[in-house]
Structure 1
Amino acid sequence: MNTIVICCDTLRADVVDHTWEDHVDTPHLDRLRETSTVFNNAWGEGEPTIPMRRGFFTGMRSYPWRFHIDDRGSVPNIYGWHAIPTEQTTLAEHLLLNGVATGLIADVYHMFKPTMNFTHGFMSYDYIRGQESDRVRSGPLSAINMKSYLPDEIANPTDRPGIAQYLLNMQDRRGEEDYLAPRVFRSAARWIQDNHENQPFFLWIDSFTPHECWDPPMHFADQYFKAEDVKDYIYPQMVQNYKTLTDDEIQRTKALYYGYVTFVDKWIGYLLSVLTDLGMWEDTVICFVSDHGTELMDHTQFGKTADAMHPYNTRLNFWIHHPDPAYHGKTIDAYVQNIDLMPTILSIFGVEGEAVDGYNLLPVMSGAQKGQRDHVITGWSSTAGIRTPEWLLMLETVNADANPRLFHSVSDPKEEHNVAAAHPEVVSQLQGKLEDLIGGSLPTTYTHQPTMEHNATFAQWAQSNLVR
């Protein structure tokens, strides 16, 4: 049995399962969903990008931030953003040692930064360059037009170096196949074709799309909303802190995200068609996951922040397509987290690994077991969220939190009304669950202390030139 994991960054679960307020076209994922077991209650464990992938790869909790590891050069400098600890064995390492061909195709550039080690155990890997602030090109600045994507007053490299870096990286793009999502999924398709004789195999495909910059071929966005006098704010966080967005600007920015989702769905469909051409559906498991979502003006802004542990940010896509029809079209409401994927895939291959924090989900899928959790805890920088079927509590953990935020998710599904003052006993109970996990009372001091030192980035150079 082969296994392919498709991981999409920043892909909201409610957009893909069509419970979001706007419909977004994802026909290829819709068909995959119909023949999958879908976990409706999947939540991130240690957020965002890098801690999540550590959990995916090792089955071990990333949170609390308990490792002292060299993280120089690994922007952003936040809690938990570091390499896989050497004492943890990765999924790919286990499989390779048991005769499984392993491959990694990714454009998630954070995985390949200095001091990172996410290629461990992969007998081949392809790093697709150019996403966001990936340090691919440093000029010429005269070749990029930032005014198409920013208000004129801040459309320069020193004010918004992140967008400048991305536009420099995209200079050679000419047609749709030059975009990053097609490059990822075409490379993955080639890997499958090349390794068709090397079965069983394990392939991890990691698409940064639809993470910012929300920059699809624009006809994908135009199908959702188009206004001639509105700019394409492909990185809206860089704009919303400067100005208040108009209604048309909000709708166009949402359309950029929706179009990017439809675009990546198209190329997932391309990959799935290769499996059809090779006749591999009968012996291939496909896992479809995401690392987190993003806010689409749910609570008045775009983007994701550590202090917003709401479903739009921390609920995951988590589907498993198994060739056995008994697993098709099932939905499971038990709590699962990203750390459960690793032991589940080991079980699919019949490989035994050391004990991990995650759970093998195959018995849950078959109905032999129920879920193992009555709550989930998510760490994101210095904020932690404790979620039960009824409540969400968000706490600042490094400094004393004078304003805990408690939401009654049953009566307030959008989690807009803080009721902590009315339910101190619930705050105390849920805080106790968090303190049990971290092994002490709040506030706490984490072992991992981010290295706040120079990193060789375009942003650093632009800022140093600004003050020179």
Structure 2
Amino acid sequence: MNCIVIVCDTLRVDHCGPYHLGRPLNRVVSPEQPEWTVPTPNMDRLARRGTVFDNAWCGSTPCMPARRDIYTGRYEFLERGWGPLEDDDLDLPRQVSGPPNQSLGWQLGQGYPVSYMVTDHFHLWEQGAGNYHMGYTGFDFVRGHEADAWKTDPIVFPCPDDAGHKVERHHRNVHLTRKSENDYFCAQVFTQAADWLESNKTHDDFYMHIDCFDPHEPWDPPEDLLKMFDPRGYDVDRWKSMVPYDEWGNHYSPEELRHVQARYAAMVTLTDKWLGMLLDKLDELDMWKNTMVIFTSDHGTYNGDRGRIGKLQTHQHDACGHIPFIVAHPQDGHGERRSQLVQLVDIYPTVLSAVGRPCPPDRHGIDLLPVLRDSAAATRRYAISGMFGRSVTITDGEWILHQSPVPDNKPLYWYGHSTARFIHYDLGPYENGRRAVDCPSWETPTWLSDKRADPNEFANLAEALPDKLAELQRELADKLVGLGAPPEQLERLGL
């Protein structure tokens, strides 16, 4: 079977049609969202062909930690933060395609499937993470998004953000290369992916990975799509394509926040529109009969929820931790939904199963093919997620606990040879395979919520329900032990 994995960065689950089901955003999870409905006809189209997982949770956050979960089938955030693949990582493309630096003829002769990546995600190349492309048979990199150091022409160009911000590179690149909607980054990604399918459709059991940076910031959608949500378009007093990761009231008026929310919704609409090009190509080539498609995101983002905007500030509440996850299988689960808990680490064993390759031992992920065939098949009792050195989240889909560390957040160690070159951590010297970490955590209390009555987790029930709190803390401790997490994690979390 062929397998295509599509990861759209920072895609909120409540903006996806298979989850909002046509409801206005403020009636899905968060009343702090606008009253508009975000049309995503191509996500809906994929859902009709596939299985929608209602209880999908990210795992390690943010962007690159989530990708290491996908590439290794193991939670990164318990051992390390944002970084490259380590030398001993059994990364997914190599498990599919065999040893790197071989000829295609040798690879096919040995019976390995072809693997290919199409992406505009600059972090995959950036210092501190830039080796995630190396295991693929081939790859295509769409240049110019966010902080991609590409164009250097000494020109004057419109830049809504501060000139000293690295996203200035984005606006320079856009000014020099964007002539029409076809030149938007998600348009290029899905167009090139469709072109690869056209040229490679006769390969047996290929794996294609599409890593689309949209709808991650910078949010600069076409004005006609923006006007679907804000009739003023870009005719506003001021706007910036990036957002501060902070309480929104420190930066925006309510009207300005609505404009930010409109730009995000327009980016989702744009991304969905160009996803349709890929689905059209699968239709045209009649590939659905032997191709499985997995569609998901690395995490969501706060966009007015809980008084915040952006990521990396507090617990992995629903707006960040709950993600879309749709699997379209050639035979199984068409038009169905599943309530089982699934996570990004599950992509690893599921892809290997689909393309007929063995899965290495000691993975945290679960093969989801049995769940597509059988709605009663089990996955896991609890999902966990978090950011390295911060709180750890555990949920059974009904109750959710965000466990904060003890005040000094110690002991804490960073495992592996890599260092913290993107998100800063104070690391000690490398000794015995690890580095001591001095890392303050967020000033947020341990948080317990009943998601059935309070899906956006506004009410903290930790003090009111001490028995339930203790029960989930015990389950979290057992889960960490079962995963083989470093033992000091229990100590720093007060477990």
TM band (smaller chain): 0.7 to 0.9
Secondary structure, aligned partner of 2:136: coil
On the 8 A contact 1:391/1:406 being kept in 2, the answer is yes
Q: Is the 8 A contact 2:403 2:493 kept in 1?
A: no
Conserved? CA contact 1:56–1:341, under 8 Å: yes
Alignment-derived partner of residue 390 in structure 1: 398
Structure 2 distance, partners of 1:432, 1:238, is 32
**Gap regions ≥5 residues in structure 1:** 67-79, 151-155, 446-468
Residue correspondences, number: 421
Q: Name 2:256's counterpart in structure 1.
A: 249
Matches within 5 A, 1:9-408: 9-16=9-16, 17-18=19-20, 20-21=25-26, 22-66=36-80, 80-97=81-98, 98-114=111-127, 116-138=130-152, 140=154, 143-146=156-159, 149=160, 156-158=162-164, 161-172=165-176, 173-227=178-232, 228-237=235-244, 243-324=250-331, 326-355=332-361, 356-367=363-374, 370-381=377-388, 382-397=390-405, 399=408, 403-408=445-450
Measure how far apart 1:243 and its partner are: 4.8
C-alpha offsets along residues 371-403 of structure 1, whole Å, 9 cap, x if unaligned? Answer: 232221112132211223332222333735883
Aligned residue number for residue 77 of structure 1: none
Distance 1:183 1:207, change over 3 A: same
Report the alpha carbon displacement of residue 201 of structure 1 after superposing the two structures with TM.
1.4
Change (3 A) 1:411 1:238: closer
Contact residue 246 and residue 309 of structure 2 kept, 8 A: no
Structure 1 residue 265, shift from structure 2 partner? 0.9
Q: Does 2:432 match 1:432?
A: no
Question: 2:348 is matched by which residue type in structure 1?
Answer: M
Provide the C-alpha distance between the structure 2 equivalents of 1:65 and 1:306, rounded to a whole number of angstroms. Answer: 20
Q: Is 2:12–2:320's contact at 8 Å kept on the other side of the alignment?
A: yes
TM-score with structure 1 length normalisation?
0.84
1:38 aligns to what SS in structure 2? strand
Query: 1:183 corresponds to which letter in structure 2?
Result: Q
Cα shift readout 1:427-463 (whole Å, capped 9, x = no counterpart)? 3332333344142433169xxxxxxxxxxxxxxxxxx
* C-alpha contact (below 8 Å) 2:207/2:355 kept by paired residues: no
CA apart distance, 1:301:
2.4
Q: Rate the CA distance shift 1:295–1:283 in 2: closer, same or farther, 3 A.
A: same
Aligned CA distance change for structure 1 residues 251 and 242 (closer, same or farther; 3 Å): closer
CA distance in 2, matches of 1:138, 1:169: 8
Q: Between 291-300 and 435-444, report the one with greater CA deviation.
A: 435-444
Which amino acid is the alignment partner of residue 123 of structure 2?
H
The one-character-per-residue Cα deviations of 1:352-378 (angstroms, maximum 9, x if unpaired) are 121221111111121175323222111
* Conserved 8 A contact 1:307-1:394: no
- 1:443 alignment counterpart: 492
Q: Counterpart amino acid of 2:92?
A: L
The DSSP-based 3-state class of the residue aligned with 1:56 is helix
Cα displacement (A) at 1:29: 1.4
Report what 2:421 is aligned to: none
Structure 1's 132 and 352: CA in aligned 2 closer, same or farther, altered over 3 A? same
**What's the offset of the Cα at 1:186?**
1.4
The CA distance in 2 between the partners of 1:392 and 1:238, in whole Å, is: 23
Q: 1:109 to 1:387 in 2, by over 3 A?
A: same
Alignment-mate amino acid for residue 214 of structure 1: W
> 1:95 touches 1:346 (CA, 8 Å); kept in 2?
yes
Q: Is the CA contact 1:61–1:357 (under 8 Å) kept in the aligned structure 2?
A: yes
Question: Which residue of the other structure, out of 440, 463, 471, is the alignment partner of 1:421?
Answer: 463
Structure 1 stretch displaced more, 232-241 or 296-305: 232-241
SS at match of 1:420: coil
Determine if contact 1:230/1:249 at 8 Å carries over to the other structure: no
Q: Is the 8 A contact 1:295 1:301 kept in 2?
A: yes
Shift of the 145–238 alpha-carbon distance from structure 1 to 2, 3 Å rule, reads farther
The question of whether the paired residues in 2 share the 8 Å contact of 1:90 and 1:120 is answered with no
String of CA shifts for 1:76-115, please: whole Å, max 9, x gaps.
xxxx101223222222212213421110011111111235
Distance 1:427 1:242 in 2: 32
Give the TM-score normalised by structure 2: 0.80
Identity of aligned residues (%): 31
Which amino acid in structure 1 is aligned with residue 400 of structure 2? Answer: L
1:83/1:244 Cα in 2 relative to 1: closer, same or farther (>3 Å)?
A: closer
Q: 1:306 touches 1:383 (CA, 8 Å); kept in 2?
A: no
Paired with 2:237 and 2:464, the residues of 1 have a C-alpha distance of 44
Q: Deviations over 1:386-430 (max 9, x none)?
A: 223332222333735883222222222221122222223333332
Q: Which amino acid aligns with 1:15?
A: H
Deviations 1:45-104 (A, max 9, x none): 1111111111112212213025xxxxxxxxxxxxx1012232222222122134211100
Counterpart Cα distance in 1 of 2:444 and 2:70: 33
Deviation at 1:136, TM superposition (A): 2.1
Q: Unpaired segments of 5 or more residues in structure 2?
A: 27-35, 99-110, 410-442
Compute the displacement of 1:12 (Å).
0.9
Equivalent-residue separation in structure 2 for 1:376 and 1:145 (angstroms):
44
SS in 2 for 1:373: coil
Residue identity matched to 1:348: A
Matches of 2:190 and 2:491, distance apart in 1: 44
SS in 2 for 1:144: coil
Q: Pairwise CA RMSD of aligned residues?
A: 2.3
Flag the 1:242–1:365 CA change in 2: closer, same or farther, 3 A.
Answer: closer
Q: How far apart in 1 are the matches of 2:405 and 2:224?
A: 44
